[in-house]
Amino acid sequence: MNKVGYLNTLRKCLSSLPQDEIEDIIRDYREHFDVGISKGKTEEEISEELGSPVEIAKEYGVSPNFFRYERVVSDEVDNDSYYNEEGRKEKFSIPALVFWIFVMVMAGLPILISLYAVLISFFVTAGAVIISGISVAGISLFKLTTIGVGPFLFYFGMALCLIGLGGVLINFLIWLTKKMFYLTGSIFNGIKRSVVGGY
């Protein structure tokens, strides 16, 4: 396979990853080709040395379920028919659609709703921790003259700890939310590929 075909195939295999990550990977493998060509190797030799785009995608965390029929995909890539019009035609599978709708309604959807509900409750908890810290800080400042410097420093320090803890929780929950969105998208993409034929 030549350089253009290899990189296009690799990009297709990585399509479930974030776009910026895909571009970084493609850039790295384009450099592999450039270095190999500068050493006198052919594009076909370099692509053979780099290995299957499917295996590379798996190494970068693409789920094996992403590849519905790895053998068929590999055959299409080898005979350069991967990008022809016939290879792009999709075959709709009604039984698979019925099956996945049943799975999502009976199991998947309630689980996802529960997970997101728990996530929202964690956000509320983190917000409550921050508000508690601000409240303690405000009260300690307001009563500084009556409680004295020592107790004030104690309560104010505790307030800062609560605010900091809440901030850490918020940052962690934002990261977790992104991961859950990515996971949800991967699940639906996997279902789509199971329902719709083709790669």
Write the secondary structure of the chain as one string of H (helix), E (strand) and C (coil): CCHHHHHHHHHHHCCCCCHHHHHHHHHHHHHHHHHHHHCCCCHHHHHHHHCCHHHHHHHCCCCHHHCCCHHHHHHHHHCCCCCCHHHHCCCECHHHHHHHHHHHHHHHHHHHHHHHHHHHHHHHHHHHHHHHHHHHHHHHHHCHHHHCHHHHHHHHHHHHHHHHHHHHHHHHHHHHHHHHHHHHHHHHHHHHHHHECCC
pLDDT at residue 66, as a whole number: 57
Question: What does the pLDDT average to over 114-140?
Answer: 90
Domain ranges of the chain: 3-88, 94-195
Q: Which of 53-67, 109-123, 181-195 has the highest mean pLDDT?
A: 109-123
Computed over every residue of the chain, the mean pLDDT equals 77
- Least confident range of 47-51, 73-77, 157-161, 189-193: 73-77
pLDDT at residue 3, as a whole number: 87
